[in-house]
């Protein structure tokens, strides 16, 4: 039985970047152990979840893109990660996933900023609120970790140390706000392909150098000094992303030439992020980078910001 129409619950959920991403060797089960420092940025998707109503609101997913965001590769069916998250919650509380999910995407698709995971986290929180599910934060985090490795962080937000596949999280003390310029490419990179490329590069005699220990990164975050953090940004997947997409070298150089303190590929790329010495500097770097023709679009962002949160509606009576 479908319920009567009610107001949607809308959740805002941030993109992530990896300030540090250390990738272990390929395990027998096909996964890699990760040690990563996530930071949630002020680029966010909006996810709304509405009760389906027979003949009026069909269960399913609808996807729209913010200005300049290409959503043509985002599935509007049951393979969408947001739908999978709602299904997982429905199974846990033994009910039908009788909802319509609306995604308004500002996070670049297949960009290494975990947009799909963000939508999954947003849908999970919105459905839990709509259905008044009382499984607590721990219950939601458990389901999030089942749905995908970055989903738990999208719920969590802020700055966090992730281990395992990235789903085991510990909050990290991060003083001050850091200012970033985000260079979005005109295409995506598939995460499994980038991991495969890293395995291939590591099998060669001239294997890429690995990032250092995470502790200095945590100290720089605690000090809040952008200049210290800039020296420590590192991502083991960067060599693989650049190998698959050599144009990223120009993008990375372009950001530093434009005045950023440092740049790094975000996650599996191809988005590159540049740490800047304050907000004014970020605006200047963004303007110069936009004119350099080394990426599709340029955004200014800051972090850390909170994880998924309800911004409208609470499921009604």
Known catalytic residues are: 16, 150
Q: Tell how far CA 73 is from the center of its chain.
A: 17
Query: Closest approach of Cβ 20 to ligand ATP, in Å?
Result: 15
120 carries a ligand binding annotation: no
Which phi and psi angles does 223 have, rounded to 5°? -75, -25
Strand-strand pairing, 234-235 and 9-26: parallel
Query: Closest approach of Cβ 36 to ligand ATP, in Å?
Result: 11
Query: Closest approach of Cβ 309 to ligand ATP, in Å?
Result: 18
Which residue's Cβ lies closest to ligand ATP?
116
Q: Which residues bind ligand ATP (CB under 6 A)?
A: 73-75, 80-82, 103, 109-117, 119, 150, 188, 191, 267-268
Query: Closest approach of Cβ 179 to ligand ATP, in Å?
Result: 21
When the beta carbons of 131 and 195 are compared against ligand ATP, the nearer one is 195
152's tokens: 């738990």
1 carries a ligand binding annotation: no
When the beta carbons of 258 and 268 are compared against ligand ATP, the nearer one is 268
When the beta carbons of 36 and 174 are compared against ligand ATP, the nearer one is 36
118 carries a ligand binding annotation: yes
136 carries a ligand binding annotation: no
Task: For residues 57 and 8, give the distance between their C-alpha atoms in angstroms, rounded to a whole number.
Answer: 12
When the beta carbons of 39 and 268 are compared against ligand ATP, the nearer one is 268
Task: For residues 13 and 124, give the distance between their C-alpha atoms in angstroms, rounded to a whole number.
Answer: 11
User: Which residue in this structure is represented by tokens 């009788």?
Assistant: 98
Sequence-distant (≥ 6) Cβ neighbours of residue 153 within 8 angstroms:
16, 38, 40, 114, 117, 160, 162, 166, 167, 169, 307
When the beta carbons of 88 and 281 are compared against ligand ATP, the nearer one is 88
112 carries a ligand binding annotation: yes
CA-based R_g, the chain, Å? 19
b or e along 11-50 (b: 16 or more beta carbons within 10 Å of the residue's beta carbon)? bbbbbbbbbbbbbeebeeeeebebbbbbbbbbbbbbbbbb
Angle at 177 between CA 224 and CA 108, to 5 degrees: 125
184 carries a ligand binding annotation: no
- For residue 168, what are the β-bridge partners? 163
- DSSP state, 254? H
Query: Closest approach of Cβ 274 to ligand ATP, in Å?
Result: 18
Annotated binding residues for ATP: 108-118
Annotated binding residues: 108-118
């Amino acid at each position: 039985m479908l319920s009567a129409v009610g107001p949607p619950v809308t959740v805002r959920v941030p993109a992530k970047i990896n300030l540090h991403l250390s990738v272990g060797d390929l395990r027998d089960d096909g996964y890699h152990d990760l040690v990563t420092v996530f930071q949630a940025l002020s680029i966010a998707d909006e996810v709304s979840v509405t009760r389906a109503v027979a003949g009026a609101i069909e269960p399913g997913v609808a996807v729209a893109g913010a200005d300049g965001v290409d959503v043509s590769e985002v599935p509007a069916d049951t393979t969408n990660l947001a739908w999978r998250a709602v299904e997982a919650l429905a199974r846990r509380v033994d009910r039908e996933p009788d909802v319509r999910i609306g995604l308004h995407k500002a996070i670049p698709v297949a960009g290494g900023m975990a947009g799909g995971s963000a939508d999954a986290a947003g849908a999970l929180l919105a459905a839990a609120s709509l259905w008044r599910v009382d499984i607590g934060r721990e219950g939601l985090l458990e389901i999030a970790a089942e749905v995908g490795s970055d989903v738990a962080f999208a719920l969590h937000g802020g700055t966090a140390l992730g281990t395992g596949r990235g789903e085991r999280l510990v909050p990290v003390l991060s003083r001050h706000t850091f200012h970033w310029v985000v260079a979005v490419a005109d295409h995506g990179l598939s995460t499994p392909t980038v991991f495969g490329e890293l395995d291939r590069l590591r099998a060669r005699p001239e294997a890429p150098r690995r990032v250092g220990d995470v502790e200095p990164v945590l100290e720089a975050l605690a000090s809040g000094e952008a200049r210290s953090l800039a020296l420590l940004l590192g991502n083991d997947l960067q060599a693989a992303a650049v190998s698959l997409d050599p144009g990223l070298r120009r993008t990375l150089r372009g950001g530093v030439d434009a005045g950023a303190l440092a740049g790094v590929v975000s996650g599996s790329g191809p988005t590159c992020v540049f740490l800047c010495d304050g907000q004014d500097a970020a605006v200047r770097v963004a303007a110069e980078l936009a004119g350099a023709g080394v990426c599709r679009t340029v955004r200014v962002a800051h972090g850390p910001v909170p994880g998924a949160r309800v911004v409208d509606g609470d499921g009604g009576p």
